[in-house]
Homo-oligomer: A and B are copies of this chain.
Amino acid sequence: MATQLQRSTQTQQQLLAATERLLAEQGYAAVSEARICDLANLTRGALRHHYPNGRYDLLPVLLEKLIAKQSEKIEAAQPQNPRERVYLMLFGLLEASIQPETVAILEVWMAARGDAKLAERINPIMNSSIERLFGMTPDTPIDPDLLALRCLLHGACMHCYSVDYRHEELVRAIQWVLERLPPPAGFVERLSAAQAA
Contacts and interface: CB of A to CB of B under 8 A. Distances in A.
Given A26-B113, A29-B111, A30-B114, A154 B163 contact: no
Q: How many copies does the complex hold?
A: 2
Contacts of A138: 163-164
For A126, A148, A156, the residue with the greatest tally of chain B CB atoms inside 10 Å of its CB is A148
Interface string A104-133: 001101110111000000010011001000
A170 to B, nearest CB: 7
Interface in A155-196: 155-156, 158-159, 161-164, 169-170, 172-177, 180-181
A151 B173 contact: yes
A141 interface: yes
25 contacts: A25-B114, A27-B28, A27-B110, A27-B114, A29-B111, A29-B114, A123-B163, A127-B163, A127-B164, A142-B164, A142-B173, A144-B173, A144-B175, A144-B176, A147-B170, A148-B174, A151-B152, A151-B170, A151-B173, A152-B155, A154-B154, A154-B155, A155-B155, A155-B156, A177-B181
Given A113-B161, A151-B156, 12 more contacts: A29-B114, A109-B161, A127-B163, A136-B164, A142-B173, A144-B173, A147-B172, A148-B176, A150-B159, A155-B156, A155-B158, A181-B181
